Each structure stands twice: as C-alpha cells, then as structure tokens.
C-alpha cells in the first residue's frame, strides 16, 4: 500500500478522441473511467495529488498523417526519427480534446497539456518528444515531495509507457495500474513488448486491487 504523503495518481490522456467513437479510439478506452473515478474518490487516503494529462494539438500538427498527405498509421522520417503518423486527434478547443465526460476532472490538482507546438509531439507526461523540453511535471512533483507515481489512462503501450519510463528514469517509484489502462497494440504484440521493457526498467505493473 502506498503512503498518502508521497504519492500521486497520474491519469494519462483520458480524452474523447481516444475513447470509442473518437478519431483515434483505443478499444475499450471508456471502460476504465469508473475504476479511475473509484480511485479519485479515495484520494483522501491514497494520493496527495491527482494529475491529468491531455494531448492538446494545433491544427496541422506534425504528428497528423493529414499534415503529410499520408494515410493514418503510416511511418515517416520526421526530425531524423522514424515516427508513426496518427489521425487528426485532440485538436485544441475541439470536442475530441475534452476529457471523457464521466471523468471527475474537477477533483484533479493539475492538468498538463502536451503536444502544443505544431512541430513537436509529446507522448510522455514529463517531456516533449525531443526528450529535452520538460512539461513541468517533474518540478511539480518534486515541489510537493512526491516519491511514488501511479499511472493510468491511455494508451498503455504509448503515452502511459513513455510516461512510466521517464518517471522511473527521473527517480520516482513508478507503478502502472494495468487494468485502468487500455492498449492500441499495433502491430499485435507491441503492448507486451512495452510491458516487458517497463518491467526491465523497474516499473511495477499492478492492478487496482492493489489499493
């Protein structure tokens, strides 16, 4: 069991566009909302801080396949790296960028909006994809004496994965609440590969029964 004074729950990108019916829907993404709300309702005994992250992209963002006149999920060299290009999603101010309507957003302490620069994407809650530009999350956690980070949200094998890997590299004791995440798993087996990488890095994979 975690210690309230040193723990934070981070809910990654639980937005309309990543839930069924959204432009980049993660299968079953909506199914995790009630379980996350259950944890939020117990924050007085579980977590010192609750933090939400959100993709918040401008129109014609570099991660959009449409920006490059390509089909969604195409691969392309961008900035020297081979990247996956996505359907237009979580465009700032549009409906798809909003949090799932059932999520208890009002009980969060901080919202981190990421991927706001047109030429730079951000998977991790801690850094933009240049791996240099911080989102400010590390400083916030340090300022509030957080030592343990619990991650949930979407998607397990992308933004949750990158956030967990950065969290443990930055020295936080890091947990991923797997049943409160869902995976894209494209190609098949990708999610398992990322889970193995997280475990090797020292990330603890748990489920909500841990609490």
3-class DSSP state for residue 130? Answer: coil
Q: Which of 88, 121, 159, 166 is catalytic?
A: 159
Spell out where the chain has E strands: 7-12, 49-55, 75-78, 81-84, 110-114, 148-154, 173-182, 204-206
pLDDT digits (tens, 9 = 90+) for 164-175: 999 999 999 999
Q: Which of 114, 138, 148, 194 is catalytic?
A: 114
User: Residue 186's pLDDT is what?
Assistant: 86
Find, among 12, 13, 15, 8, the residue nearest to 50 by Cα: 8
13 is catalytic: yes
90 is catalytic: no
Q: Could you tell me if 70 and 30 are in contact, meaning their C-beta atoms sit under 8 angstroms apart?
A: no
* CATH numeric code, 4-56+90-210: 3.40.50.850
User: Residue 3's pLDDT is what?
Assistant: 60
pLDDT digits (tens, 9 = 90+) for 58-72: 999 999 999 999 999
Domain residue extents for the chain = 4-56+90-210
Alpha-carbon span 112 to 141, nearest angstrom: 12
Q: Could you tell me if 11 and 29 are in contact, meaning their C-beta atoms sit under 8 angstroms apart?
A: no
Alpha-carbon span 113 to 127, nearest angstrom: 11
Alpha-carbon span 133 to 125, nearest angstrom: 11
User: Residue 82's pLDDT is what?
Assistant: 82
- DSSP code of residue 124: S
User: Residue 175's pLDDT is what?
Assistant: 98
19 is catalytic: no
């Amino acid at each position: 069991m975690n210690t309230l004074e040193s723990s934070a729950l981070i809910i990654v990108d639980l937005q309309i566009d990543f839930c069924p019916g959204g432009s980049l829907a993660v299968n079953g993404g909506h199914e995790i909302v009630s379980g996350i709300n259950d944890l939020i309702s117990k924050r007085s005994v579980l977590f010192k801080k609750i933090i939400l992250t959100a993709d918040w992209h401008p129109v014609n963002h570099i991660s959009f396949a449409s920006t490059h006149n390509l089909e969604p999920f195409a691969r392309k060299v961008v900035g020297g790296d081979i990247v996956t290009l996505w359907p237009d999603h979580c465009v700032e101010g549009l409906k798809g960028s909003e949090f799932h309507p059932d999520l208890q957003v009002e009980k969060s302490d901080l919202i981190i909006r990421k991927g706001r620069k047109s030429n730079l994407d951000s998977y991790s809650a801690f850094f933009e994809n240049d791996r240099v530009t911080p989102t400010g999350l590390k400083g916030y956690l340090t300022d509030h004496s957080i030592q343990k980070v619990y991650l949930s949200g979407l998607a397990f094998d992308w933004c949750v994965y990158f956030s967990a890997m950065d969290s443990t590299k930055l020295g936080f004791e890091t947990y991923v609440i797997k049943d409160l995440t869902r995976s894209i798993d494209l190609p098949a087996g990708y999610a398992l590969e990322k889970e193995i990488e997280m475990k090797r890095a020292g990330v603890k994979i748990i489920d909500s029964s841990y609490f």
